[in-house]
Amino acid sequence: MRPPGIYRAASDTQVLVDAVVRGGYAVGRDVLDVGTGTGAVALAAGRAGAASVTAVDLSWRAVGAARLNARLHGVPLTVHRGDLFAPVAGRRFGLVVANPPYVPSAGTALPRHRIARSWDGGPDGRAVLDRICAGAADAVAEGGHVLLVHSALCGVTPTLDALAAAGFDAGVLARATVPFGPVLRARAAMLESRGLVAAGERLEELVVIGGAR
């Protein structure tokens, strides 16, 4: 169930879910899904054998949708409204997952009350992504993992470096090449002008990056 204004689970969601399930990262662990949206990744972690699943989103609509979807699918899920790790400050999890906003946008101001906040990541796409990399250090338990999915357009090496700086042993776990979705198609000219994609390029690479603590 996805109410208006909430991000629809798409290719990036599936790539992240596949990596979580294939690697057995959720099994027996307390899991945190940051920026849960409809709760798709959180519910997948619950079905994959997590000991518990907690989800956070800044949007009240997303919180309501995730709670309802948990009931509809019969998966226990605790959902908090708040900014990234703030609602679970002081807690540590065996697995943290996130599909953050990562699409390069025209301006530096991030929208707070429109669906574009689900994908706008600032000029380099890293405004939220870098905050998650830094904040994961206080949220992941010793021996735990963080798994993030994003487009290679906002840089793979910067994510690896940010997680390493936060104390993680980081690497690329999965890659997938997919056609541009509606948002990237609408911004293709801007991306070309910035040299982020070649002229006429309409494919993007999605990456799942994992960090072990």
- The CB density around residue 186, as the number of other CB atoms within 10 Å, is 11
Query: Could you tell me the two tokens for 112?
Result: 């707070």
pTM summary value: 0.93
What one-letter code names the amino acid at 135? G
Residues 32, 56 contacting (CB under 8 angstroms): yes
CB-hemisphere CA count at 13 Å for 49?
A: 9
44-81 burial by CB neighbour count: b if 16+ within 10 A, else e? Answer: bbbebebeebbbbbbbebbbbbbeebbeeeebebbbee
The H or E element spanning position 45 is helix 40-47
Per-residue pLDDT at 112: 66
**So where are the chain's domains?**
11-212
Q: How many CB atoms lie within 10 A of CB 131?
A: 16
Looking at residue 78, what is its pLDDT? Answer: 98
What CATH number labels 11-212?
3.40.50.150
Counting as low any pLDDT under 50, the low residues of the chain are: none
Cα–Cα distance measured from residue 105 to residue 125, given in angstroms and rounded to the nearest whole number: 7
Helix (H) or strand (E) holding 73: helix 60-73
> Going along 82-126, which residue ranges are E strands?
93-98
